[in-house]
Structures are given as C-alpha cells and as structure tokens.
Amino acid sequence: MIDLTNGNPTKKMLKFAVPVCLGNIFQLFYSLADTRIVGSILGENSLAAVGSTTSISTLLIGFLLGLTNGFAIIIAQKFGEKNENEIKKAAAGTIFLGFLTAVSITAISLFFLDEILNILNVSEILYAESKGYIKAILLGMTATMFYNAFAGILRAVGDTTAPLIFLVVSCLLNIFLDLYFLSILKTGTSGAAWATVISQGFSVILCFIYMWKKYPMFRIKRKDFSFKIKFLKNLYTSGISMALMMSLVFFGTLALQTAINTFGTNIIVAHTAARKITEFFMLPFAVFGITMATYCGQNKGAGKFKRIKEGILKAVFITSVWSLIVIFMSYTVAPQLVYMVTGSRITEVIDTAEKYLKINTIFYFVPGAISILRNAMQGIGDKFTPVVSSFLELAGKVAVVIFIVPYTKYFGIIISEPIVWIIMVIPLVVKIIKNPIFQRENL
C-alpha cells in the first residue's frame, strides 16, 4: 500500500507507476502471444473471425474499465481523507454499480448480437465462428468487470503490485487454457474466448481473497450496501465520466480506420505497424495517467492542494523526458522497428510507417500532457472537462476523415493526430489553471 499524500512526490509516483507499467508491457506481449496461438492452431480464417469482433469487445471492455477506474477515484479520495467507513462504502458501491452495469451491457449486447455483427459487416464465412467467440466474451463480461473493479480498488489505496501479480497469473493461465481448449478439446474460437473468461474469473477469486485477508477495510458486509442516492450519483458520475472519456477515444480511432482501410494493403500494413510501435511509445503516458488519477484523488481527499500542483508538473516533466527519448528512436531506428513488427521489407511499408512515426513523435509532449491532465482533473473531481477534451478528439478525427483525407490521402491521417492533440489540450490547460484546487497554495 502506497500513501501518495506524503513523501517525495516523484519517488512515490514512480513507485506506484512501475508495477502498472510492467503490467501493461506484459499485457502487450500476452496479446501478441494469444493472437499467435489462435492463428497457428486454427488458421487465418479463425483469426480473422476473432479480429472481426475485436472492435465491439474493445469498446465494451474499455467502457467498463473506464467505469471502474472512475469509481476508484472516489475510493482514492476517501483514502486520502483516511475515512475507512467511506472507503468501504465506496468499494461496496463499486461492486453494486459495476455489477448492474456489466449485466445490463451483457443482456443488451446479446439481445442485439446479430444486428451488431451485421453492422460490423462480418462475412458469412466467418459469421458462425465470430458469433461463438464474441458471445462467450459477452457472457464473461461481468468477470472482466470484477477483475478491473478489484484491481482499481487496490490501486486506489496505492497497491499496484498485487494487481500486477494477478494479471501475470491470469495471462499465463489464459495461454495454457488456449492451448488446452484449441489443441486438445478442439473447441474452436469459442474456446479461446472461454479461456479468457475462465482465467479472469480465477483472478477475481485471487483478488477477493487477497483483499479480504490483507485489508480489513475491504471486508464488505451486507450493511455496507445501504446507500444514499446522492452517494451513488457521485460515484456513478465519476465512473461514467472516465468511461465516456475512454469510449470517445476509441470511436475517434475507429473513424480514422474507416479511411485507412481504403488506401490499399501496403498502407494498411504500414499504419498497423506504426500504431503497434506507438502503443509501446505511448505506454508511459497511459501509466502516468492512471498514476495521476490516484495521486490527485488521494491528495484531494487529504486537502494537500499544493502537492497536487507539484505532482502534475513533475509528471509532465517525466513524460517530456520520455518524449525526447522516443523522438531519438524514431529518427534512428524506426525502419528496424517497423521490420520487427511486420517482417516486411517492402519500401512503401517501411517508408510510410517511418514517416508516420517521425512526424507524430515530434508532438509527443502534447499527448503526454493530455493523459496527465485528463486523469488529474478526474482525480480532483472535474468530471466534465476531460470528456469535452475527448469529444474534441472524436470530432477532430471525424472532420479529418471528411474534409482533409479526400485531398491529402494518408498524409492527412499522419498529421491529423498532432492537430487534434493541440486542439484537445487547450481546454485542459485552461481549466486546470483556473481550477481553485490548482491555485491554492496550502498543504
């Protein structure tokens, strides 16, 4: 458990962030391994069947992840206040609201599943496998929610090591079950989905046992589920704000992808490679975003407003240093990185991906600041401005697809993100400077 309201802010933030970063890196490698297993054992059609429904599973899981992260901010604030009764109440509210939301999303998605698959233009050849896979994922959505909820609760009180351990266990179990279901039981793509659901369910059990034994304040009883409407409203608005923020980002990316899919195979491969490399490059931004949500939440609860300002400025400095490193890598080893991801030596693929990386990374100071400011504002209770910023991202990317890409082709995609980043950061900077908490000087 890490109390982020005391001690050196930089050291405390790094101590919190490192396990989160390791978890994200492990998840990236696991995702590649999972994809490789399905493709190697079941073939390209089955892999395509899984891929054809990725957009809907990513959207729904991302929404629930944002929701539970938003709930965790309230827990972090109560932890900063050192109010164990309110911490327990917020944890109970997280379980209650998270369960209701996950069950509702699952029921609605299953009811309209055929319509959803038709909207996604899933081909007849892939339809049966795609439906079997996504149906299993949807049925396990509640388990996914509980894992994210418990991990968020633990991070809210500064425990980032336990969620990392449970994530590693879950991923390794998932790989084992993938091999067992696909190679031995011959279950097809639905087996891969159930492997994911079962492994996450196992992690939920581990999280629950750990929280019950390690933290008496999380030994939730029936009486803790007695809520006032005002309390539930505050908790749910915090969750919905984070959920919308993440969902709007996804829709913006999806808007660009619709245009990219019209540029031919080489451009699609180049963009895919550039985005995979970008995921790694931007990983510290996401990690410090999670860190700042908890850091600011705890310090707001403790009333340490000057410490909030200090933490934000130091986090921006750290991500700026990382941005310089990334710029150097883009201008020295980008072709090698593209080859590592794609295995392609086609000049158009390598040159296009390299151009994307060189132009985008120059502006990386901006998305680093965006991630920190958006999450910091959520942590101090501003639920509106981060959503506005994310909406600007969506609107900007849609505008690029409609008005710029028809004339500039893929170059318009390359320059779209820096343009949108600059637009997005403006309301965040203005609001954080004007926020009374940011202006206060008292500790």
Residue 383 lies in a domain: yes
Q: Nearest CA to 6 among 83, 85, 84, 80?
A: 80
Q: What is the mean pLDDT of residues 256-270?
A: 77
**pTM as predicted:** 0.84
Residue 235 lies in a domain: no
Last residue of a domain, one of 192, 227, 262: 227
Q: How far apart are CA 97 and CA 74, in angstroms?
A: 13
Least confident of 147-161, 269-283, 367-381, 407-421: 269-283
Tell me, yes or no, whether 179 and 212 share the same domain: yes
| 250 within 8 A of 62, measured Cβ to Cβ | yes
> Which residue segment(s) compose the domain that 57 sits in?
1-227
Contacts 24+ apart (CB under 8 A), 83-91: 83/301, 84/217, 87/157, 87/217, 87/218, 88/217, 88/218, 88/219, 88/220, 88/224, 89/224, 89/227, 89/231, 90/235, 91/153, 91/217, 91/218, 91/220, 91/224
Tell me, yes or no, whether 263 and 385 share the same domain: yes
Tell me, yes or no, whether 264 and 125 share the same domain: no
- The 10s digit of each residue's pLDDT in 32-45 is 666 667 777 877 67
Q: Would you give the DSSP letter of residue 182?
A: I
Six-digit token string for 378: 């959520």
**Distances 227 to 210, 224, 230, 239, 398 between C-alpha atoms, Å:** 25, 8, 8, 16, 41
The distance from CA 357 to its chain's CA centroid, rounded to whole angstroms, is 21
Residue 151 lies in a domain: yes
Please state whether 264 falls in left (phi above 0), alpha (psi between -120 and 50) or beta: left
Tell me, yes or no, whether 44 and 166 share the same domain: yes
How many angstroms separate the first and last alpha carbons of the chain? 22
**pLDDT attached to residue 440:** 57
DSSP string, 341-385: HH----HHHHHHHHHHHHHHHTTTHHHHHHHHHHHHHHHTT--SH
Six-digit token string for 57: 């599973």
- The 10s digit of each residue's pLDDT in 86-126 is 899 999 999 999 999 999 999 999 999 988 888 777 778 87
Residue 232 lies in a domain: no
| 273 within 8 A of 341, measured Cβ to Cβ | yes
Least confident of 147-151, 265-269, 306-310: 265-269
Tell me, yes or no, whether 290 and 209 share the same domain: no
- Examine the pLDDT at 301 and tell me if it is beyond 80: yes
- Examine the pLDDT at 242 and tell me if it is beyond 60: yes
Q: What is the mean pLDDT of residues 240-267?
A: 80
Of 261 and 118, the one with more pLDDT:
118
- Examine the pLDDT at 443 and tell me if it is beyond 50: no
- The 10s digit of each residue's pLDDT in 71-87 is 999 999 999 998 888 89
Q: What is the mean pLDDT of residues 323-330?
A: 96
Per-residue pLDDT band at 247 (split at 50, 70, 90): confident
Q: How far apart are CA 254 and CA 241, in angstroms?
A: 20
Residue 237 lies in a domain: no
Burial bucket for residue 226 (CB in 10 Å: 0-12, 13-18, 19+): exposed
**pLDDT attached to residue 442:** 46
Q: Among residues of the chain, what percentage have pLDDT more than 70? A: 95
Tell me, yes or no, whether 173 and 263 share the same domain: no
**pLDDT attached to residue 436:** 78
Q: What is the mean pLDDT of residues 436-443?
A: 60
- Examine the pLDDT at 401 and tell me if it is beyond 70: yes
Residue 240 lies in a domain: no
Residue 244 lies in a domain: no
Tell me, yes or no, whether 86 and 219 share the same domain: yes
Average pLDDT, the chain: 88
| 146 within 8 A of 5, measured Cβ to Cβ | no
Q: How far apart are CA 220 and CA 134, in angstroms?
A: 33
**pLDDT attached to residue 379:** 92
Residue 193 lies in a domain: yes
Domains of the chain: total: 2
The distance from CA 242 to its chain's CA centroid, rounded to whole angstroms, is 10
Q: How far apart are CA 18 and CA 16, in angstroms?
A: 6
- The 10s digit of each residue's pLDDT in 281-299 is 999 999 999 999 999 999 9
Per-residue pLDDT band at 334 (split at 50, 70, 90): very high
Tell me, yes or no, whether 207 and 115 share the same domain: yes
Tell me, yes or no, whether 275 and 204 share the same domain: no
